[in-house]
């Protein structure tokens, strides 16, 4: 009986490999083969080598409202995009850096549009950036970084992004109806617990959503919206309006593992939802990726990670960013059901290995377009690439 089962698995694997070999779009070999015991994951993805990187630094100029002069706003690096399927086209809001802001260039968000999810035409000016408004003190001069975008049932877009003043990263939120014009609301935790966490280091807001008809629609669980966030460990927060969020606290009897790096003593009161792991690719850092996906199996979160070779994966250099997947209970978004044992995408191309930050595949955009899945990621904090799943 055992021999027969192994034979069936071998045949299935062979059929999958043959089908994958014939994939179009100039794709390279699969990043990871399907594991028959972990079919809850959204895998495999194939890097589209014939077009990657799909976006590189540009020469567009922009009259900056704070500096009152023209700047080459995306000449240094472009990376870490959010993706929206709108009106039969793919809209990419991507992070772009100039060479003059401190500490590593001011970040603004540009917009590029595609009809095939692979070839993009960018707008000449950024669509979101620091300005002389009430949020300047949070956004200047590090800028506006790493967007994630979902929409509500009425078609309003909600963008979580990181504001960096050069010292502290804070998770902020903005809304739009057309992806061009945005209204800023400030820190997502500004009203929670009398503002206790408004100025805490916070990043990477991944709102639980339903991926339906190509759209990413924020979806309530037990009458609340849920968001995974964080870039040391991953925490959670809830909201009733997608604007104001309350981080999830530890209960009276709960305690976080004392060995975890929580970033600051303030974070010790918050419940860690997903932690780093010794011996794994995610030993040094875990960070939310694209908007989390509500499925029949549970809530699927693709997350980014960083490795420390001394305590983690010995095959990955220290500092390597790769991505994994985790499945949470759809009725209890804090409960882990499954977690990948290895990363499904990692840097192995020259533009992923060398750049502003070496050895980086940072996944942030995921979309279903024309019945295919496309995964967009920053490479070495310098360029943008795409991977494909049929």
Residue 211 is classified by DSSP as E
Average pLDDT over residues 68-84: 98
Identify the pLDDT of residue 36: 35
Helix (H) or strand (E) holding 19: helix 2-21
| 64 Cβ contact partners less than 8 Å away, ≥ 6 residues apart | 70, 71, 73, 129
Domain span including residue 198: 2-389
Percent of the chain scored above 90 by pLDDT?
Answer: 85
Read off the tokens for 3: 């021999």
**Helical ranges in the chain per DSSP H:** 2-21, 136-139, 350-353
- Asked if residue 53 has pLDDT above 80, the reply is yes
| Segment 104-153, tens digit of pLDDT | 999 999 999 999 999 999 999 999 999 999 999 999 999 999 999 999 99
pLDDT tier for residue 318 given thresholds of 50, 70 and 90: very high
- Does residue 17 contact residue 34 with C-beta atoms inside 8 Å? no
Identify the pLDDT of residue 80: 98
Residue owning tokens 């989390």? 292
CATH number, domain of 184, equals 2.115.10.20
**Structural domains of the chain, count:** 1
| Segment 173-183, tens digit of pLDDT | 999 999 999 99
- Asked if residue 369 has pLDDT above 60, the reply is yes
């Amino acid at each position: 009986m055992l021999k027969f089962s192994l034979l069936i698995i071998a045949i299935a694997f062979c059929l999958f490999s043959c089908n994958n070999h014939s994939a179009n779009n100039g794709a390279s070999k699969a990043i990871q083969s399907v594991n028959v015991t972990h079919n809850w994951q959204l895998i495999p993805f194939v890097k589209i080598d014939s077009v990657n990187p799909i976006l590189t630094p540009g020469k567009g100029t922009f009259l900056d409202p704070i500096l009152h002069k023209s700047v080459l706003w995306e000449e240094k690096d472009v990376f870490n995009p959010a993706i929206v399927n709108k009106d039969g086209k793919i809209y990419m809001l991507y992070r772009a850096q100039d060479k003059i802001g401190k500490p590593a260039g001011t970040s603004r968000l540009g917009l590029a549009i595609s009809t095939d999810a692979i070839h993009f035409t960018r707008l000449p000016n950024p669509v979101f950036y620091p300005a002389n408004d009430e949020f300047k003190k949070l956004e200047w001069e590090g800028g506006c970084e790493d967007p994630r975008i979902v929409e509500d049932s009425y078609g309003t877009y909600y963008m979580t992004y990181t504001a960096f003043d050069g010292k502290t990263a804070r998770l902020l939120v903005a809304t739009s109806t057309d992806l061009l014009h945005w209204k800023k609301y400030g820190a997502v935790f500004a009203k929670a617990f009398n503002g206790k966490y408004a100025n805490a280091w916070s990043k990477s807001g991944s709102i639980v959503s339903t991926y339906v008809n190509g759209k990413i629609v924020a979806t309530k669980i037990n009458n609340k919206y849920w968001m995974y966030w964080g870039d040391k460990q991953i925490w959670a927060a809830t909201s009733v309006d997608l604007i104001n969020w309350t981080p999830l606290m530890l209960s009276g009897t709960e305690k976080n593992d004392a060995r975890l790096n929580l970033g600051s003593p303030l974070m010790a009161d918050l419940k860690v939802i997903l932690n780093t792991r010794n011996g794994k690719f995610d030993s040094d850092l875990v960070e939310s990726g694209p908007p989390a996906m509500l499925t029949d199996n549970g809530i699927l979160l693709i997350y980014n990670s960083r490795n420390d070779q001394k305590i983690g994966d010995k095959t990955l250099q220290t500092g390597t960013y790769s991505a994994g997947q985790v499945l949470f209970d759809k009725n209890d978004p804090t409960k882990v059901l499954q977690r990948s044992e290895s990363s499904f995408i990692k840097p192995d191309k020259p533009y992923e290995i060398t750049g502003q930050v070496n050895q980086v595949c940072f996944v942030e955009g995921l979309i279903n377009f024309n019945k295919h899945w496309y995964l967009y990621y920053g490479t070495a904090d310098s360029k943008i690439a795409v991977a494909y799943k049929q």
